[in-house]
Amino acid sequence: MVTPPPLSAGLVAFVKRDCETCKLVDPVLGAIAKDEPLTVYTQDDVSFPTSVAAVDDLALEMSWHHNIETVPTLIRVDANGVEEERIVGWSRDQWQAFTGNMELGITLPGFRPGCGSLSVDPSRADELNARMGGSGLVTRRVDFAELEDDFEAMYDRGWSDGLPLVPPTEARVMRMLEGTTRSASDIVANVAPDLIDVTVEKIAVNAVMAGCKPEYLPVVIAAVEAICTDEFNIHGLLATTMSVGPVFVVNGPIRKPLGMNSGINVFGQGNRANLTIGRAVQLIVRNVGGGRPGGVDRATQGSPAKIGLAFPEDEEGTPWISLAEERGMEPGVNAITALCLEGPRLIVDQLSRTPESLTNNIAECLMTTHSKRMVYGIDALLVLSPEHMSRYVDAGWDRARFRAELEERLMVNTDDIIRGTGGIDEGLPADFAGMQLPKFRPGGLHIAHAGGPAGLFSSVFAGWVSGEKGSVPVTKEITP
C-alpha cells in the first residue's frame, strides 16, 4: 500500500478545475489563505486555483487516501495531522462558521453541491484501488516486454482458447472479486487433470480473461464446483475422444439481473453472459487444471461446447417445473446444472398439432442420438422451443406426463440393432437379442425449455457415457 504524507495542520482543500463550484470558491480560498495556513490539492490542473498556490495531486494519491468523494472539500486538521472536521461542497454558512470569518463569500450564492472527485471516477477507481490500496492478490503477475502486444502475448503463452482474452490486470481482477462475498483465498475445488486447487481469486482471473462481468462470478464459481466432482468427472470428459464438453443450464431469478438470454438465438452469439460464463469455466480447466487439446483433451472432432456454452431456462414461458426443480432444487433457488454434452442438433416438426404426433416425431429423432444402435449408456438434453411447448401446455400435459409418454416411445427392440443386422457391423452383441431396452438410462433424458417465440424447432444435445463409468449431471446452488 502506498503511504502518502499526512495532511498539514490547519485547513486543507481539495479542488479541480473541471468543477464549477470549485471555480466559484477560488477567490474564497485566497481569502482564507490570508488568515490562516491553507493547503490546496488540485486534481486536474496545477495552475488552478488562481488565488492560491496549489499542490499537485494529479496522481490522486492524497485524494484517494483521504476518501475525497466530492470537490470542493474543506478539512480542518489538528497539530498532529488528524482530521477534525470536513465540509463537502460550498455552503456559505458552514464555511463562515468553519473559518470564523462571517464575511467569507458574502457575495456568492448560499449553496452549491460540488462535483464528483476524480478519485472516485468509475474510469479511474479500479486502477487507483489496485495502485494505492495494494491489490492483495497472490496470483503470480506476468510482466510482458515493452514491445509485446498484450493480446498476442497471452495467446503465445497458451492461455487462450483461440479467441482474444481480456488482460487480467490487478484492477480488473479486484473489480471481478467484488461480484462475490467469498474470500479471494477460498479454495473452491480441485481441478483435473493436474489436480490443482483453484481459489476464488484464480477463478476471477480467468473470468476476467473470458470477458465476464463481476455479477457473473457466483455463477462461474458454482459451475466450477459442479464440474470438479467425481460424479461429473471432468477428467474423463477431457480424455474421451467423443466431442463433448460441459454445458450449463441456469435456473432461478438470477437469470434476469444477469441479462441472460433464454429466447431468440439462445445457443448462439450475441449475449455476453451466456457466452462468457461457460468460457470462463473452460479457461479454468485449461489454465489451472491443464486440460488442453492435444494433451489430456483428446476429442476427435470437438464441438462448440468445448469453447463454452451456458444458457438459462425460460421458466416464465411454461407452467412446467424447471430442470433444477426436477433435479431436487426448491422453486426460486438460483442453481446451475452441468451436463456433459456435445453441440445442439435440430428437431424439426412444423405440422404436428397434437402432443401425440409431436411426441412421436421427437422420439424418432431422439432414437438417432449418436446412433440408432447406441442405447441405455448415454444421456441427452432435450430443449423444447416455445411453439413446440405450446402443444403440450394447450393439451394439459405436464412435465411428468410428457416424460412418461416420451420414454414409452423410446424403448428399443434389440433384435433390430444386433451387430450385423441390416449389413451394419456396429451394434449390440448377440447376447442382447430378444430384449427391450430404453434408449437412455432411467432419468438420463433431461428436459429444458428455451428459444425464440417463433419457429417449430427444438434441439437435442447428445451426451457421453453416463453413470459410474462416465459422467452424471450435477446441479449446484448459486450462492453470493
Across the chain, mean pLDDT equals 95
pTM attached to this predicted model: 0.83
Residues 6+ apart with CB under 8 A from 279: 161, 163, 210, 211, 307, 308
Q: Is the dihedral of CA 287, 290, 291, 292 positive or negative?
A: positive
Q: How far apart are CA 289 and CA 281, in angstroms?
A: 11
φ and ψ of 452, to 5 deg: -70, 160
CA angle, 292 as apex, 289 and 295 as ends, to 5°?
A: 105
Determine what percent of the chain is predicted with pLDDT higher than 90: 91
Long-range contacts of 96-101 (CB under 8 A, 24+ apart): 98/74, 99/11, 99/32, 99/35, 99/36, 101/31, 101/32, 101/35
Contact 286, 161 (CB under 8 A): yes
Residue boundaries of the structural domains of the chain: 10-121, 150-477
φ and ψ of 110, to 5 deg: -70, -30
Q: For the segment 337-365, what is each residue's pLDDT rounded down to a tens digit?
A: 999 999 999 999 999 999 999 999 999 99
CATH code given to domain 10-121: 3.40.30.10
Residues 6+ apart with CB under 8 A from 325: 251, 331
Determine what percent of the chain is predicted with pLDDT higher than 70: 99
Q: How would you class 181 by CB atoms within 10 Å of its CB: exposed for 0-12, middle for 13-18, buried for 19 or more?
A: exposed
Asked if residue 117 has pLDDT above 80, the reply is yes
Q: For the segment 281-324, what is each residue's pLDDT rounded down to a tens digit?
A: 999 999 999 999 999 999 999 988 899 999 999 999 999 999 99
Contact 185, 198 (CB under 8 A): no
Asked if residue 1 has pLDDT above 60, the reply is no
Average pLDDT of the segment spanning 127-135: 76
Q: How far apart are CA 27 and CA 194, in angstroms?
A: 66
Asked if residue 269 has pLDDT above 60, the reply is yes
pLDDT of residue 169: 93
pLDDT of residue 311: 98
At 479, the amino acid letter reads: T
Q: Give, in order, the Cα–Cα distances in Å from 190 to each of 136, 230, 234.
A: 23, 11, 11
